[in-house]
Structure 1
Amino acid sequence: MSSALTDLVPLPIVQAPMAGGVSVPRLAAAVSEAGGLGFLAAGYKTADGMYQEIKALRALTSRPFGVNLFMPQPEYPGASTGSTGAADAAPPAAAAVEVYAEQLAGEATWYDAELGDPDSGRDDGYEAKLAVLLDNPVPVVSFHFGCPTPEVIESFARKGTLALVTATSAEEAQAVERSGAHAVIVQGVEAGGHQGTHRDDPERDRAGIGLLSLVAQVREAVALPMVAAGGIMRGSQIAALLTAGVSAAQLGTAFLATAESGAHAVHKQALTDPLFVRTELTRAFSGRPARGLVNRFLREHGPYAPAAYPEVHHLTSPLRKAAAKAGDAQGMALWAGQGHRMARELPAGELVQVLAAEIAAAQAAQASAQVGNEGR
């Protein structure tokens, strides 16, 4: 991705780190073994849990891989509005979460589950995870929900670890460049799961930027190598993005459906189930904008969910687990990108090979068309 990252892996294919048990060691190993860059998701895990997954992955492959970290979240001063962006004076975040908890009481009764404690922590064990990764360096580390300090980036560089940071705007990409990161993950609004915005601003809920437009904006704003993310499901899309100037593509939903993915079987089936016809950004499950398949929970609670992450995530966690245990897709967080209907049920390594063949075919077609145009 600059020469450093492109030299690390032979194919411009990155498996997105999907938190919540999806990006398990066997998935990351299969992708890395096939020539892509597999990723573990440290989000929502303890530092020791992350370390144990790294050990398990290293037992499966000697190829390069990455680990993704969530940045600590600031306290929410002042007021918070729901995902509707209502302009009326809203209660402070803590009070808004209490109101939302009251709205979810029926869900708790339905699933016979207690609501979680919204005050279960805001830093996701960030410092402890940094310590583990600096003591036991991995090839690549990426960051979501913000940008680490230049000192953190430099500490990883001294260990030989490449650092990538997600950005959802040109301004965020400029902050990433100032941090000294080795590459920026340019995340379009099409992406499944959480938008990696550096600052959670409810006024941006309906103002996300499409991937191609964002790539063009970031390309003009920074000199960093780019990894494109958002709705990518086919090698032809990757080829087009490579032509647009990115160094690699990061795919999440495409790998979610694979055999090695740790996603719940109901989640995998929902990707191509005609019952789920579209995705939507919602705060219903976590309090931060995240794209998922539109189900009952999202429809009923999305309009009222406050901008309060990770409080809402902690609050709804037992409900999501209970729905998954019951196999109830209508109560689960079915994270998915806009290309979900194009998901293919293939082994992860085979999917990497298919994508690589599609990239090669698209690039050959581009070269042929160019030659034809030059001959006119």
Structure 2
Amino acid sequence: MWYNTKAAEILGIEYPILQGPFGGNLSSVELVSTVSNAGGLGGYGAYTLSPQEIIEVDKQIKTATNKPYNINLWVSDTDAPDGTVTDAQYEQAKQLFKPYFDELGIALPEKPAPFKSRFENQVGVILDIRPKVFSFMFGVPSADVLEQCRRLGIKTVGAATTLDEAIFLENAGVDMIIASGFEAGGHRPSFLATAESSTIGTFVLLQLIKEKVKTPIIAAGGIANGKGVAAALALGASGAQIGTAFLATDESNALPIHRQMLFSNAAKYTTLSRAFTGRLGRGITSRIAKDLLGKEKQFLPFPLQTTFMSSLRKAALEQEKWDMILFWGGQITPILKHKKAAELMSSILEETTAYFDHLKA
């Protein structure tokens, strides 16, 4: 059968369907367990969590499912030298964003406090709690960490946005590589070159990697149904990771308005922007993203831009100024149909099976 792939074997799952692990408090234990219990691989994005919070989430997931699941971290979780910015950088950002804060009738925030990378402490917890799968973005953990994962039986999955990144990941010895196409919603996890210069479509990237790399590949970006999964497998993927379609389900931790927007007419238009976090990410087109295109040098680096924008986001939500918020979502969003994760999973499996059965007929 189509689902008997190397990825399914490595991950110990029935179907090689991975739920995208959403960071920024968008993941939920309910969504992870629903997907894992249905035979796929649920994923929890934990890069904003403290080590203790990761331990608590892991306990909850283990209570909700006895199947394999994935915990995701960001190897590089700051772009700010020494975790801070100069007063001049802060003043520049203030002047650029002042009209939006004024429009919402709120004060500009104070200069963000210095940010200290959390990855080292977080990865220590991963080695303690031993999820079946540890996936990561924005780089590769140290050889020592990867070796400890191997010894502990934790499968490692890295994200690549270019062929060079995939080769880098293979040389590091990861178990699987996610080929992350630029159609995908959320942040672009590039780490060898700028995200802006690493915008390759999923199916082109998949074929480039397949040609040069032996490590099993998971296709991600622009896949939301069984036909997308079938296409990925036909091009040599060993599985598919689906993000936006699962983010839009009731089980995700996205705000109700976020899920509503993913099923709205506005979802036809998405944009890659750094305006909201300081790192390039795709979401439903917003006025701020359009206005500030080309002014990226005046933004604060990640994650200080996120901190700087947090009060604006809160006020925009309260005042229902949806065009001032970036609702994460991929280019495939307009075809979404399912609001229940179990139904989405069932539909993906039925559609993929029907496609391959049709080929045999």
Instruction: Tell me the TM-score normalized by structure 2.
Output: 0.90
Q: Would you say the 8 A contact 1:168–1:209 is kept in 2?
A: yes
Aligned to 1:283: 274
Aligned to 1:54: 58
Ranges in structure 2 where 5+ consecutive residues have no aligned partner: none
Aligned to 1:83: none
Say which of 353, 357, 362 aligns to 2:346. 353
State the secondary structure of the residue aligned to 1:184.
strand
| Identity across the alignment (%) | 31
Q: Would you say the 8 A contact 2:94–2:108 is kept in 1?
A: no
Structure 1 residue 226 corresponds to structure 2 residue 230: no
In the TM superposition, residue 117 of structure 1 has moved relative to its aligned partner by 4.4
Q: Would you say the 8 A contact 2:101–2:107 is kept in 1?
A: yes
Q: Would you say the 8 A contact 1:113–1:322 is kept in 2?
A: no
Structure 1 residue 337 corresponds to structure 2 residue 330: yes
Relative to 1, partners in 2 of residues 1:122 and 1:302: Cα closer, same or farther, differing over 3 Å?
Answer: farther
What CA deviation, in whole Å up to 9, does each residue of 1:122-146 have, x standing for no partner? 52x1111111111111110111111
Relative to 1, partners in 2 of residues 1:8 and 1:322: Cα closer, same or farther, differing over 3 Å?
Answer: farther
What is the rounded CA distance, in whole Å, between the counterparts of 1:178 and 1:184 in structure 2?
Answer: 11
Which amino acid counterpart does residue 119 of structure 2 have in structure 1? Y
Which amino acid counterpart does residue 112 of structure 1 have in structure 2? I
Aligned to 1:88: none
Say which of 111, 117, 121 aligns to 2:115. 121
What is the rounded CA distance, in whole Å, between the counterparts of 1:70 and 1:252 in structure 2?
Answer: 17
Say which of 95, 99, 102 aligns to 2:95. 102
Q: Would you say the 8 A contact 1:72–1:122 is kept in 2?
A: no
Relative to 1, partners in 2 of residues 1:26 and 1:294: Cα closer, same or farther, differing over 3 Å?
Answer: same
What is the rounded CA distance, in whole Å, between the counterparts of 1:356 and 1:234 in structure 2?
Answer: 9
Say which of 154, 175, 186 aligns to 2:179. 186
State the secondary structure of the residue aligned to 2:158.
strand
Structure 1 residue 196 corresponds to structure 2 residue 200: no
Say which of 315, 337, 361 aligns to 2:308. 315
What is the rounded CA distance, in whole Å, between the counterparts of 2:145 and 2:111 in structure 1?
Answer: 31
What is the rounded CA distance, in whole Å, between the counterparts of 1:222 and 1:116 in structure 2?
Answer: 47
Relative to 1, partners in 2 of residues 1:42 and 1:116: Cα closer, same or farther, differing over 3 Å?
Answer: farther
Ranges in structure 1 where 5+ consecutive residues have no aligned partner: 78-91, 369-376
Aligned to 1:240: 231
Which amino acid counterpart does residue 178 of structure 1 have in structure 2? N
State the secondary structure of the residue aligned to 2:317.
helix
What is the rounded CA distance, in whole Å, between the counterparts of 2:206 and 2:27 in structure 1?
Answer: 25
Which amino acid counterpart does residue 32 of structure 1 have in structure 2? S
State the secondary structure of the residue aligned to 1:205.
helix
In the TM superposition, residue 206 of structure 1 has moved relative to its aligned partner by 5.8
Q: Would you say the 8 A contact 2:19–2:42 is kept in 1?
A: yes
Q: How many residues align?
A: 351
In the TM superposition, residue 219 of structure 1 has moved relative to its aligned partner by 0.8
Which amino acid counterpart does residue 250 of structure 1 have in structure 2? Q
What is the rounded CA distance, in whole Å, between the counterparts of 2:276 and 2:183 in structure 1?
Answer: 18
State the secondary structure of the residue aligned to 1:227.
strand
Aligned to 2:30: 26
Relative to 1, partners in 2 of residues 1:37 and 1:117: Cα closer, same or farther, differing over 3 Å?
Answer: farther
What is the rounded CA distance, in whole Å, between the counterparts of 1:150 and 1:356 in structure 2?
Answer: 36
What is the rounded CA distance, in whole Å, between the counterparts of 2:72 and 2:201 in structure 1?
Answer: 23
What is the rounded CA distance, in whole Å, between the counterparts of 2:74 and 2:198 in structure 1?
Answer: 23
What is the rounded CA distance, in whole Å, between the counterparts of 1:355 and 1:132 in structure 2?
Answer: 33
In the TM superposition, residue 289 of structure 1 has moved relative to its aligned partner by 1.1
CA RMSD, 1 decimal:
2.2
Which amino acid counterpart does residue 366 of structure 1 have in structure 2? L
Relative to 1, partners in 2 of residues 1:363 and 1:137: Cα closer, same or farther, differing over 3 Å?
Answer: same
Say which of 243, 247, 251 aligns to 1:256. 247
In the TM superposition, residue 199 of structure 1 has moved relative to its aligned partner by 3.8
In the TM superposition, residue 315 of structure 1 has moved relative to its aligned partner by 1.8
What is the rounded CA distance, in whole Å, between the counterparts of 2:77 and 2:11 in structure 1?
Answer: 34
What is the rounded CA distance, in whole Å, between the counterparts of 2:14 and 2:154 in structure 1?
Answer: 18
Trace 1:25-44 onto structure 2 (pairs within 5 A). 25-44=29-48
In the TM superposition, residue 115 of structure 1 has moved relative to its aligned partner by 2.8
Aligned to 2:355: 362
Q: Would you say the 8 A contact 1:194–1:290 is kept in 2?
A: yes
What is the rounded CA distance, in whole Å, between the counterparts of 2:114 and 2:174 in structure 1?
Answer: 30
Instruction: Tell me the TM-score normalized by structure 1.
Output: 0.87
Relative to 1, partners in 2 of residues 1:151 and 1:295: Cα closer, same or farther, differing over 3 Å?
Answer: same
Which amino acid counterpart does residue 202 of structure 2 have in structure 1? L
In the TM superposition, residue 320 of structure 1 has moved relative to its aligned partner by 2.1
State the secondary structure of the residue aligned to 1:172.
helix
State the secondary structure of the residue aligned to 1:354.
helix
Q: Would you say the 8 A contact 1:97–1:312 is kept in 2?
A: no
